[in-house]
Amino acid sequence: MKKILTILLLSIFAISVIDASNIVTKQKKPAAISEFEQTIGPIRIVFKTVNCEEVKIKRERQSDMTNTNPFHIPEKVTGPDGNQYTIVGICDRARLSGNFSHCSIPRTVTYIGDNAFEFCDRLSSVSISGDPEISTKAFFGCIKPQIRNL
């Protein structure tokens, strides 16, 4: 009886150790870099890494105010380390404020924070794929852009 009980307890312990190691390996690794910049359309953007696979738009570095082309946020960007990062959010106070009249946001973006777009006087329409959480102040100072969910 002692042998059976010992084997049973060892089996339960082994299974719990295997499950714990699976949990650890499923977590995404931290990124090798914390921030990087890249130009997308008319805007130079600072990206903040979330982990080794995801980034958020942290803030605008500068805008080309002469460029009136639409601003299309891509689903992915390539970092300076060569990794592909999925864009998952637009941070609070990103203050994206170019001279563009239309912006498209991909389905990978799950959050659009306060002042994400700030005082975009020409922004008249925003196309959003997916269903992100949108802060009530996401378009602060903009002249009521039409928001369409695709």
What distance in Å separates the CA atoms of residue 120 and residue 70, rounded to the nearest whole number? 12
What single-letter amino acid sits at 9?
Answer: L
What distance in Å separates the CA atoms of residue 118 and residue 13, rounded to the nearest whole number? 55
Closest CA to 117 of 102, 133, 139, 135: 139
Distance of CA 128 to the CA centre of its chain: 14
Block residue for tokens 């977590």: 27
- 148 in Cβ contact with 127 (< 8 Å): yes
Strand partners, 102: 125
What single-letter amino acid sits at 56?
Answer: K
pTM of the model: 0.76
pLDDT at 7: 64
The percentage of residues in the chain with a pLDDT greater than 90, rounded to a whole number, is 46
Q: Is the dihedral of CA 135, 146, 107, 60 positive or negative?
A: negative
pLDDT at 128: 95
Q: 119: alpha, beta or left, given left = phi > 0 and alpha = psi -120 to 50?
A: left
Distance of CA 27 to the CA centre of its chain: 17
* The pLDDT of residue 12 is above 70: no
Q: Residue 143: helix, strand or coil by DSSP?
A: coil
* The pLDDT of residue 25 is above 60: no
Strand partners, 63: 43
Q: What is the pLDDT of residues 88-125, one digit of tens each?
A: 999 999 988 878 889 999 999 999 999 999 888 889 99
